[in-house]
Chains A and B, each alone.
Chain A
Amino acid sequence: MANIIIHQNKITSREDLLEVCPFNALEWEGDALVTNAACKMCKLCVKKGPEGVFEFEEDEIVVVDKSLWKGIAVYVDHDNGNIHPVTHELIGKAREMAAKIDHPVYGVFMGSGITKKADELLAYGVDEIFVYDHEALTHFRIEPYTAVMEDFINRHKPSIVLVGGTTIGRSLAPRAAARFRTGLTADCTILDVQENTDLDQIRPAFGGNIMAHIQTPAHRPQFATVRYKIFSAPVCVDPTGVVTVCDVEEKMLESRIRVLEVAEKQISESIEDAEVIVVAGRGVKQEKDMAMVRRLADLLGGRVAATRPLIEAGWAEPKTQIGLSGRTVKPKLIITCGVSGSVQFAAGMNNSDLIMAIDNDPSASIFDIAHIGIRGDLYDILPDLIEKLEATEKNVCTADLTA
């Protein structure tokens, strides 16, 4: 803690010394002059007091009273009320951590016409959702959104604020963190919480060459952003939480940004968003055999992608090309079928969580990056696999269905 040191030996006269401090923070303790709890560290005594008597020692950081900050808040990322699934994932993580330190999990939900949507979040196990519903919050503009976040933080003093690493989250989180002059760790891949409510944040630095473990030991709230698909959505619970509708005051809505136009983007669901991808390579001999690959992808709820030669042959759409001159993907599962694993292809997918590669050439370089290298003929394997999958009853993810 920063400190005022009083050099007793430099005191030449006791007279008027107490008056140096406007906050009555100086008192005599026997013969010694001391500061009491009223000290604001304003340093007026250092400036105005007799030469050499008061010294300010500022080495150590002032630590906030952490017990005053309670709760793990999740910013509800959404587009016109359609809640982005990163929100569910963050709620899952928040619940896990909240259980350790016995804190509530909050949702902060701001937008227009969204109040009715708040209920669906309760099934993910949020204790209280604070809804700021106002027409002026229809479109994302930084000043009103930050003002709402500020209002929420001032009222509820959460210890931790988790924000999805979406376009909006990456704009809002730093702005709000700066307003509270607190720490923000971006793109965390691992989060945990200490007993003293310090958040352990681990993130890759330098393009993933190094992992950094970061803490915000003296400030609250602790802000962290996490990208989509880093954590898993939680299992559903019987909703016990409540939805609290909050006042949106006029002064929160001031903005020097005007939204002129909102154009829908053409979104054909891209392979970048797919959790499961099945890739066809030149090992697929004829165009009609693409049906087999597509069937496998369908059964796994995934998408079909292809290597460049197949795109060039017109067997698949250009936007499904993976690689250096195509898309970069990082699905939870990627199954390659007859793909040799050229460097250009690998560059677009080698960060995938689980790579299963089917190829009949043991020396194919795809086996260098595959977690599971399956040496065999795709024409022998796929029909059998498809048959087995068709026979399996699909076990659907309950969390997403109740939403």
Chain B
Amino acid sequence: MIRITTCIKQVPGTTKVEVDEKTGVLKRDGIESKMNPYDLYALETALKIKEERETELTVVSMGPPQAEDVIREAYMMGADKGLLLSDRKFAGADVLSTAYTLSQGIAAEELPDLIICGKQTTDGDTAQVGPEIAEFLNIPHVANVTCIREVKADGIVVDMDLPNAVETVEAAFPCLITVEKGIHQPRLPSFRLKMATRDREVPVLSMKDFTDQDETRYGLKGSPTQVVRIFPPETDREKETWQGTGPELAGRIHEKLVAEKFI
């Protein structure tokens, strides 16, 4: 049997968000939320492996108690176990402290053979959490995976997408991969599984359950990056409308192209 853990995140259902003026931290309460769409591909990849081989699939999420919803959704898609990392001390985490918290949560039990993360999130956007988790767990990672070639007893063969080439690599377990959007079409939650998993628990871990009890490594305190300020993007360039005869317009375009250093 192989053990797979997939990291999933609850993200706001819309991209309209509020910012806490004082701390510069995003307010995530009271917004309709959903599973990060990119994580659906990670979950689907795990489920595809599970169809082929005996697999125990755990989903782990860090978030407020409401993030239980995305774990339930994963149950409805076919995940076996869930783990919610929830603690006020995790609040305000940046990439580093998010990755650290997830790595502590994942390592709280026996390390899985394979960890699968999505490519990025729709809210934080960073695509960096996967590699950082791998670093904290001291395991290899392969990013930008477009295809799972083979799952072996002691490792996995995958295709990694590079700008000019596709590299086929074998990574020994335990390892972490981040998968590209489109690797597999994610399935919809099933009603049958919804009924079957209705009473399944979602275990919650907080900092006290972790090996590392150093509070300065979690949440805002454990975040080396600080949001100094959040502001709306600059408004677009000023718009201009040109009219005239063909040659006049050709002349103006030419001047503009020279001025903007295109010629």
Contacts and interface: CB of A to CB of B under 8 A. Distances in A.
Interface stretch (B83-91, B107-115, B188-196, B253-261): B253-261
Contact of B124 (A181, A205, A367): A205
A385 interface: yes
Interface stretch (A7-15, A243-251, A284-292, A369-377): A369-377
Contacts of A261: 167-168
B228 A166 contact: no
A142 B137 CA distance: 14
B249 to A, nearest CB: 5
A170 B143 contact: yes
A192 B157 CA distance: 41
B122 A207 contact: yes
A173 B225 CA distance: 15
Contact of A79 (B130, B162, B236): B162
Contacts of A179: 135
B124 A79 contact: no
Interface in B233-263: 233-234, 236-247, 249-254, 256-258, 260, 262-263
A187 B249 contact: no
Nearest to B167: A262
Given A177-B96, A259-B169, A183 B143 contact: no
Nearest to B125: A205
Given A205-B124, A381-B250, A356 B262 contact: no
A1 interface: no
Interface stretch (B11-19, B48-56, B60-68, B69-77): B11-19
A174 B132 contact: yes
Contacts of B160: 167
Interface string A272-283: 000010000000
Nearest to B123: A206
B16 to A, nearest CB: 7
Given A205-B124, A381-B246, A215 B166 contact: no
Contacts of A401: none
Interface string B134-158: 1110011111100000000000010
B165 interface: yes
A389 interface: yes
Interface residues of A, number: 89
A332 B256 CA distance: 13
Nearest to A185: B225
Contacts of B135: 146, 174-175, 178-179
Contact of B258 (A267, A371, A392): A392
B88 to A, nearest CB: 16
B224 A171 contact: no
Contacts of A380: 245-247, 249
Prevailing SS type, chain B contact patch? mixed
Contacts of A209: 15-17, 232-233
Given A168-B162, A183-B94, A300 B257 contact: yes
A174 B228 CA distance: 21
Given A256-B172, A267-B164, A174 B260 contact: no
A297 to B, nearest CB: 12
B95 interface: yes
B141 A166 contact: no
Contacts of B132: 174-175, 177-178
Contacts of B205: none
Contacts of B16: 209
A304 B260 CA distance: 20
B246 A376 contact: yes
B165 A264 contact: yes
Contacts of A299: 263
Prevailing SS type, chain A contact patch? mixed
A255 B16 CA distance: 43
Contacts of B256: 356, 372
Nearest to A165: B127
A376 B249 contact: yes
A171 B144 contact: yes
A202 to B, nearest CB: 9
Given A258-B169, A260-B170, A354-B260, A214 B96 contact: no
A213 B163 contact: no
A48 interface: no
A318 B225 CA distance: 43
A261 B158 CA distance: 11
B96 A265 contact: no
Given A205-B124, A376-B249, A385 B254 contact: yes
Interface in A154-199: 166-168, 170-175, 177-179, 181-187
B262 A171 contact: no
B227 interface: yes
B131 interface: yes
A218 interface: yes
B172 A187 contact: no
Given A183-B96, A262-B166, A216 B262 contact: no
B246 A184 contact: no
A275 to B, nearest CB: 9
A101 interface: no
List the 7 shortest-distance A-B pairs measured between CB atoms, nearest first: A380-B246, A183-B224, A384-B250, A174-B128, A183-B225, A178-B135, A171-B143
26 contacts: A79-B163, A139-B167, A140-B162, A143-B140, A175-B141, A177-B96, A178-B132, A182-B96, A201-B225, A207-B125, A211-B234, A213-B227, A257-B172, A258-B169, A258-B170, A259-B168, A263-B165, A265-B166, A335-B253, A370-B239, A371-B240, A373-B239, A376-B243, A380-B246, A381-B250, A395-B263
